[in-house]
Amino acid sequence: MDAGDFMNTDGIMDMDANYYKPLIVVVQAEDAGLSVRALVERKLGVSRSLLSRVKLTEHGITVNEQRVYTTATVAEGDIIRIRMEKETSEDILPEPIPLQIVYEDEHLLILNKPPGIVVHPTHGHYTGTLANGVVYHWRERGEKVRFRPVNRLDEDTSGLVVIAKSPYIHQQLSDQLQADAITKRYAAFVYGVPPERAGTINAPIDRDPDSPHVRIVTPEGYPSVTHYEVAAEYGDGAASLVRLRLETGRTHQIRVHMKYIGCPLIGDAMYGLPPEAGELCAAWEQTAGRQALHAEMLGLTHPMTGQWMEWRAELPEQLKRLKQLLEQ
């Protein structure tokens, strides 16, 4: 995206409170004669599917404030505006749930999710989710925004979650996610020590045919890549702290991959050790209270400013206590 072609819309009031601030492109000499579609795809990275939705609205796509087709050609100096209608999550009940807000602007919301809470309502979890709390938070601020999580964490995994506040921001961040341009780093306390201090687990993952909620490593699975590094060892190799970076984002990926190399997560009821593993393991499991996994760092390029941004979230108290127990 060329800063000379894209105008920051801060301070520009849209004609209708039902629309987000417009994305604006000023046509340069070298782009004269291109179609609106080609230019906004090139300069703004707007996907064709999103553009198809936008063009159906009254003020969705204009050139010099005149509604046009996406096939219309443009001349030097023309001003293209892309306006997206604001949406709300009508199917999500607002609830006053405490949120740990790490960062928020008009485009992004970064949260530190506690363990024991689901990100989005699902069958059996219609209330008490992160989404319910976020929708309430926005309603109290008078913001008309739809809940659009970019990444998700398991119910009992804590850490950083990014939520987009417009369809354009969601599309841009989803593209970054697909291109492995968003950095996600995790801390995990595991049984044993990986065979190498640092390495890459490249093992495809899919559902267990005998238990659809469980994932397994299988040659027929989807490509799954996890990079890891051992940060600390405890009890003569009985356990270790491992830091991980995901290259792909499969369901339960870290939990499955660590079990695959013989180092399941402490406290992981689905993939961890059985109860008969011993009194010491039982104490660790009880202290952890859930799988000992925390999304501690998140980095991305802000879609509107082009600036690389990073956020960090320290270990929650539960895992700090586990760390102290392991160090003893």
- The burial class, CB within 10 Å (0-12 / 13-18 / 19+), for 29 is exposed
Angle 278-279-283 (CA atoms, 0-180°, nearest 5)?
120
Mark out the alpha helices in 55-166 (DSSP H runs).
130-140
* CB distance 227 to 244 below 8 Å: yes
- The burial class, CB within 10 Å (0-12 / 13-18 / 19+), for 210 is exposed
Gap between the Cα atoms of 132 and 128, Å rounded: 6
Q: Which of 154, 175, 208, 268 is catalytic?
A: 154
- Residue 16 a catalytic site member: no
* CB distance 188 to 244 below 8 Å: yes
Gap between the Cα atoms of 50 and 54, Å rounded: 6
Residue positions annotated with a catalytic role: 154
